[in-house]
Structure 1
């Protein structure tokens, strides 16, 4: 029996159960479920697309056994324990595991307090969370048709991705128009990429979009790390007449100084960070105001406790949040992100790629969409749970992200 420090009675906040749930309702998700002696439970997303089982193993073998008996209220101490206690710090596997625990503990704390998570964080800063949808098609005309559909659904912001003439496959273009799942086979498929063919198509896409949609809708585009800094600067300059909301992940950000060169050549707003794992990945970008939006997501950067630090640093430097929100993030992450978005003072926008009906059934949630905005709901906690019996009917299925090669066979960034 675990006693409190006074040795008087069992601590109802002590963690008595912590486990990993792997399920595949259309795509793979990894979820952590933590329960206290008082019967309060919380869940956190631990999905790392294409590397799900690595995180599940890290949690099962190294993290969750250390939780049993700890006080679930001590979120900061637990975060520091798993971060500082691991000699090999950071990285996507470690930080995703820490994030899952952290979000589950915040879920428990808010439920214990009887309030929605955003109230626990400090209260709502806005009525709702502006989100953007993904319009894509094999041609510019098909993409514009999808963009009209999103606008009719009430979206105020739309990401535009279209096929590139001469390339068999293009990032962001899929058969499913509301869902996009790039992990398409057990072993990575290989796609061919050409920057020379790509660069002329994006300005044409934006010109057609402005003509069809007008100037009231926000337009976004994701380059997916495929350009050099000078190529990114050229594309940003070409897009300036069409006033994009942002140009996303225009070059790999391992070298943060790369963005200084891009800044010298364009005033198009820049967004980056969905693959970042810590504040150190973004520190120079934020400190020097080399970006306009930080896209770091709760699930891959240590959860609410750490991303809150990133957001505060960003606020000091006029950088807004623009969290990643693709289908590979479970509703548990989306729910927590929406509470964070509703609270955080320097909010910019939230990506919202809808989940399938099967995923929504496995993860019942309180958040709702209306006229281009999401609201997390007012249920205690982050408002998302998991139906474990239903989850068990969708076993894990191996799925890998593609890789990309240039036309001459050279490996490139996917």
Structure 2
């Protein structure tokens, strides 16, 4: 029987934390446990979980390890613990697939599709010049895009702010036509009254979805927002377990859920969340503005989830000035996009090979990414 002998953590540009787990037979699995801007905190959580529960254990008992890491502690859930569990879980699945010579999706029931559609980000935190960028991405073969709706926005803002958001989407729609999908991310920046106004105003330009129209702590407002629009509502990147998703599935107002494979308990938990959503006729579109291990984990779940709709990926995203997804792969061709789709990889484990020398080299660099703190004109803190 193989057992877990060692682990290492690497903080690398632009804002990622990578976990390497090794077993007695020499098998290596990789995970990506990180909360963007809180890498040091998650590192400590991973170390505590690995040292307490996993060193010396059989890596193949993934469900039991998940239950132990989650339920073994009296205090549960939240972004830090669930992200630590997520990265460990990814690495354990990578090990199991490699030991059995099969991709993870084969171990989860086999593929329900041959490829998954991806979307490409346009614009930055404060969206601008999006129409020109949209044209460029469509010319590159993407059939779906996503953009931020607004920059800072007041709890009750003026008509000009709404008009600016509408005009940006209008310009993108004019630039790319009606056969391209465009998601609009509210990013939790928008209060309930403004979310209602924006949703209604954006309706004529038919976004693919409006994402995180309010913060998850205000999910009880989603039914009111849904009354003001027929646009599909998406949310879930800041929800961390099936219990967090239970209420929004039951109230029926969300059309697309977006759990993050590096935040919501990893492959084990997101596969369960996806199955719950399928029972409520809700689509899956995993959140992933992160690195190659997180993306590979997403694609494995997409492969075997019948309700998977589309996959976020972070190639050339505005966060990635100092490092990008393909930089860390021994074979970047695994994430080649063809007409807006990525083929489901069939290599063992997560289906990717990490360039370990490059990871070690990059981990020597200073990484200190934190999201900006935005403020309103009166000096109060604005949602980023």
* TM-score normalised by the chain length of structure 2: 0.91
Distance 2:315 2:369 in 1: 19
SS in 2 for 1:267: coil
Give deviations 1:67-86, integer Å, cap 9, x for gaps.
Answer: 12211110000000000011
Of 67-76 and 274-283, deviating more is 274-283
Structure with greater Cα Rg: 1
Q: How far apart are residue 309 of structure 1 and its match?
A: 1.4
SS in 2 for 1:346: coil
The alignment status of 1:20 with 2:17, answered yes or no, reads no
Distance 2:225 2:115 in 1: 32
SS in 2 for 1:199: helix
Query: Paired residue for 2:306, among 345, 348, 354?
Result: 345
The alignment status of 1:99 with 2:86, answered yes or no, reads yes
Q: Is the 8 A contact 1:368 1:376 kept in 2?
A: no
Matched with 1:335 is 296
Distance 2:282 2:56 in 1: 40
Structure with the largest fraction of helix = 2
Q: How far apart are residue 207 of structure 1 and its match?
A: 2.1
Q: Is the 8 A contact 1:376 1:382 kept in 2?
A: no
Query: Paired residue for 1:310, among 258, 273, 278?
Result: 273
The alignment status of 1:362 with 2:325, answered yes or no, reads no
Query: Paired residue for 2:145, among 137, 155, 158?
Result: 158
Q: How far apart are residue 65 of structure 1 and its match?
A: 4.7
The alignment status of 1:29 with 2:10, answered yes or no, reads no
Q: Is the 8 A contact 1:295 1:322 kept in 2?
A: yes
Aligned alpha-carbon RMSD (Å) = 2.1
Distance 1:260 1:161 in 2: 22
The alignment status of 1:262 with 2:225, answered yes or no, reads yes
Of 226-235 and 213-222, deviating more is 226-235
Distance 1:201 1:351, change over 3 A: same
Where does the alignment leave 5 or more consecutive residues of structure 2 unmatched?
none
Q: Is the 8 A contact 2:4 2:59 kept in 1?
A: yes
Matched with 2:376 is 406
Distance 1:51 1:113, change over 3 A: same
Distance 1:334 1:364 in 2: 15
SS in 2 for 1:275: coil
Q: Is the 8 A contact 2:184 2:210 kept in 1?
A: yes
SS in 2 for 1:256: helix
* TM-score normalised by the chain length of structure 1: 0.85
Give deviations 1:131-189, integer Å, cap 9, x for gaps.
Answer: 11112279988211110111111111011347x7xxxxx3xxxxxxxxxxxxxxxxxxx
Query: Paired residue for 1:42, among 29, 39, 52?
Result: 29
The alignment status of 1:280 with 2:243, answered yes or no, reads yes
Q: Is the 8 A contact 2:148 2:186 kept in 1?
A: no
Q: Is the 8 A contact 2:336 2:342 kept in 1?
A: yes
Distance 2:169 2:11 in 1: 40
Matched with 1:271 is 234
Of 235-244 and 404-413, deviating more is 404-413
Where does the alignment leave 5 or more consecutive residues of structure 1 unmatched?
1-10, 165-169, 171-191
Q: How far apart are residue 315 of structure 1 and its match?
A: 0.6
Q: Is the 8 A contact 1:131 1:350 kept in 2?
A: yes
Equivalent pairs counted in the alignment come to 372
Q: Is the 8 A contact 2:118 2:311 kept in 1?
A: yes
Give deviations 1:351-402, integer Å, cap 9, x for gaps.
Answer: 1220566653333353321110112421111123333332232223222111
